[in-house]
Amino acid sequence: MPILPRLWAVQSAFAAARPRPLLQADDAAGLIALAAAQRMAQPPRPVARQSAGEAPSSWKGRGLDYAESRVYQPGDDLRDLHWRLLARTGRPYVRVHHEEQATALHLLLDLRPGMVFGTRSRTKAEQAARMLLLAASAYALAAEGASGEVSLGIWRDTVHATELGRGRSALQQLARRLQTETIEPPHAEAAPSPIPAGVEGWVGHVLRRLPSGARVVLASDGAGWDTPESDAALWALCSRAEVLLLEVRDPVEAALPPGLESGAVEFLDLAQRQTGRLQGDARAQFAERAGRRHEARLARWRSRGLRCIAAGVEQSDATVLQRLRALGE
């Protein structure tokens, strides 16, 4: 059987089914619980510097100068409640301070057609959603009550942004949003775009409202992020914020399926609508070239200031969380 018919046979049942949620409710609750358990189990680290006086802290807090009071919103810190205003009006208000220091968290989930692909138990889009929720939970729960604003951008044809709030409330909002998003594989007859949309449009929008010192998490396969325009956008983003890329890959992007050693195998290029034959040594050559290209892409992104975690669709949640913790140490 030719290679592509064999691969499409794996996806045939999924393609024929109805669109399914990007993330199941039980999985979302488990990911948040895993991040919470790992946070509590993490042993305290000793203070490196012993000198007296002021020093920068790795944990962000609230500003000290009172600015105004506003209506309480789910996720607000209860320590900010304006009790006297509550007694006078009967409605809960919170104090807002100047120079808010809590770290804002901006999330971007790539759901372009290329992400709706997978040859294993889940697609790249599903794995990206899991990793994004895990990273958001780890950061928000580590803030110890001083979590900043959390926002989510869903990237399909365009980016749709949503404000999620703060703290655990924001995590619950994020989980519900991921459960309502659906995925559906593109039709095999439709040729994909040869040049995927770049990330520069979203970066330009975010930079207009991004506070200095914010944290940005991107969950994507990075398709189309190797252009001069993308380089400039990522460079500008990293100059304003701490940027983490959660790169998702499918196994066939690193190595062709086994069985090619037996002889020539037919293939179909959907983008160019061409057919051809792969010889027996094509699998080894493909793996070598794919490895070199992937390492070059990671080096390129890191040179622009991104911190990167590369994971396959079968990567366990515990391993991803372990890598997140290693980056923070």
Between 186 and 35, the higher pLDDT residue: 35
Considering the domain architecture, whether residues 257 and 308 belong to the same structural domain is answered as: yes
Domain of 245: which CATH number? 3.40.50.410
Our count of domains for the chain comes to: 2
Considering the domain architecture, whether residues 267 and 192 belong to the same structural domain is answered as: yes
This prediction's pTM: 0.74
- From CA 234, how far away is CA 310, in angstroms rounded? 17
Considering the domain architecture, whether residues 21 and 107 belong to the same structural domain is answered as: yes
Under the banding of pLDDT at 50, 70 and 90, the label for residue 327 is confident
Q: What is the mean pLDDT of the chain?
A: 80
Considering the domain architecture, whether residues 72 and 109 belong to the same structural domain is answered as: no
DSSP state of 128: H
Considering the domain architecture, whether residues 149 and 80 belong to the same structural domain is answered as: no
Give, in degrees to the nearest 5, the angle at Cα 160 between 301 and 182: 95
- Quick one: average pLDDT of 304-313? 92
- From CA 61, how far away is CA 147, in angstroms rounded? 8
Summarised one tens digit per residue, pLDDT across range 144-175 is 666 788 999 999 888 888 999 988 899 999 99
- Domain end residue (candidates: 46, 76, 97): 97
- The tokens for 291 are 């490895």
Considering the domain architecture, whether residues 146 and 218 belong to the same structural domain is answered as: yes
Considering the domain architecture, whether residues 76 and 191 belong to the same structural domain is answered as: no
Question: Do the domain assignments include residue 50?
Answer: no
**Could you give phi then psi for residue 32, rounded to 5 degrees?**
-65, -40
Summarised one tens digit per residue, pLDDT across range 9-49 is 444 344 445 678 899 999 999 999 999 888 744 444 454 44
Question: Do the domain assignments include residue 51?
Answer: no
Considering the domain architecture, whether residues 151 and 287 belong to the same structural domain is answered as: yes
Least Cα distance to 141 among 118, 171, 164, 115 occurs for 171
Considering the domain architecture, whether residues 268 and 205 belong to the same structural domain is answered as: yes
Question: Do the domain assignments include residue 56?
Answer: no
- Domain end residue (candidates: 49, 80, 97): 97
Residues spanned by the domain of 79: 66-97
Summarised one tens digit per residue, pLDDT across range 99-126 is 555 788 999 999 998 898 888 888 999 9
Considering the domain architecture, whether residues 125 and 269 belong to the same structural domain is answered as: yes
**pLDDT at 177 (0 to 100):** 96
**Could you tell me the CA-to-CA distances from 326 to 295, 308, 329 in Å, in that order?**
20, 12, 5
- From CA 126, how far away is CA 111, in angstroms rounded? 9
Q: Decide: 196 and 114 in contact? Cβ < 8 Å.
A: yes
Considering the domain architecture, whether residues 8 and 122 belong to the same structural domain is answered as: yes
- The tokens for 216 are 């940005």
Summarised one tens digit per residue, pLDDT across range 211-228 is 777 899 999 999 989 889
